[in-house]
Amino acid sequence: MGGEVWTLAEMRAGTLHSVSLELLAWGRGLADTLGVPLASVVLGSGLDGVEKPLFAGGADKVYVVDTPSLLHYYSDAAAKVLAEMARKFSPQIIIASATTQGRSTMPALSAMLEAGLTADCTGLSIRDGRLLQTRPAIGGNVMADIMTPERRSGSNPQGLTNPPQMCTVRPKSRRPLTPDATRSGEVVRYKPQENSLSSLIEFLSFEAEQRVGLPIQDADVIVAGGKGMKGAKNFALLDELAQLLNGSVGASRNAVDLGWAPYSAQVGLSGKSVTPRLYIACGISGAVQHLAGMSGAEKVIAVNTDPDAPIFGAADFGVVGSVLDVLPQLIGALRGKAK
């Protein structure tokens, strides 16, 4: 089929985000199987030297779009620039992370290129020269294998006989490759058309959210609370435990709807899908939608008063009891161990 495998790097506050290197780990195996180059595409401003960690992380080529117009991230401008580049360079696969940037840009790009898009994948492989995409379906109860068709029926006004196969993958679903500082490759500095850089979004200001730890999609440890926390003030226990474990605080939809936690902390189909190494569910019954959002966790500990709560079916370890009794004891034990 020809064409490169592209991964979309992400910049955050002028720094290359770790998901950029995770994507290269996904793309490296696909590119090697297909016998084509692996390229990383990075959009932003002030990107001098950004190609070095990308080459060390597995890229053969880096497309750099460096312009003051992209100092702030605008999903509509990013999609237009990427569509322009895809029409020019014809990649066969485009992979992004299922972060806020990836989730907002890839659907628009898919529509512009009239290409299929599979979201929130947990597995990628090549079958018969095509991208096989695996993702949870039916509330996380089954895993679905998906292939996008080689070409759309009818005419394609974008002139792409073979639109790229596109997907997003869950953050933290693959570790970056061991960096190799001796690797180098080709740098392509691309200047997009001015109309591609225009945006309907106006940047006003940025206010960092006050929270414990990393954003939940980036966290290795998540301490999540539900309706069983009995009130917003008791989320202070989750904050304390998360700090002791170098983790972040998540929440169920019930807790968010009650105003006990911000939407950015919501785990589930209507919130965020997370892939921590450890997920501690406190007072969460385990609705199907919540279980789907945390299904990528390596280890799950559940605390709930109801021994028949569905959350225990997804847990590696379970404690039947009130979180308001269990959490202070756990926090006390951890503080004693730290002394």
Instruction: Dump pLDDT digits (tens) for 67-98.
Output: 999 999 999 999 999 999 999 999 999 999 98
Whole-structure pTM value: 0.78
Residue 181 in contact with residue 58, Cβ under 8 Å? no
Domain with CATH 3.40.50.1220 in the chain: 216-338
231: Cβ–Cβ under 8 A, 6 or more apart, which residues? 260
Asked whether the predicted pLDDT for residue 253 surpasses 80, the reply is yes
Homologous superfamily (CATH) for 5-197: HUPs (3.40.50.620)
Helix intervals (H) in 94-213: 100-113, 194-197
pLDDT digits (tens, 9 = 90+) for 156-203: 555 556 789 999 998 877 889 999 999 999 999 999 999 999 999 998
Asked whether the predicted pLDDT for residue 151 surpasses 70, the reply is no
Report the C-alpha gap between 137 and 223 in whole angstroms. 25
The reported pLDDT for the residue numbered 155 is 47
Q: Cα dist. 26→83, 144, 229, 312 in Å? A: 22, 18, 38, 32
Asked whether the predicted pLDDT for residue 136 surpasses 80, the reply is no
Report the C-alpha gap between 143 and 54 in whole angstroms. 31
Most confident of 43-57, 130-144, 204-218, 283-297: 43-57
Q: Tell me, rounded to whole angstroms, the distance of Cα 44 from its chain centroid.
A: 19
Report the C-alpha gap between 217 and 267 in whole angstroms. 9
Q: Which CATH topology does 216-338 take?
A: Rossmann fold (3.40.50)
Residue 98 in contact with residue 174, Cβ under 8 Å? no
129: Cβ–Cβ under 8 A, 6 or more apart, which residues? 1, 34
Domain with CATH 3.40.50.620 in the chain: 5-197
* ∠ Cα 281 286 290 (to 5°): 90
The reported pLDDT for the residue numbered 72 is 92
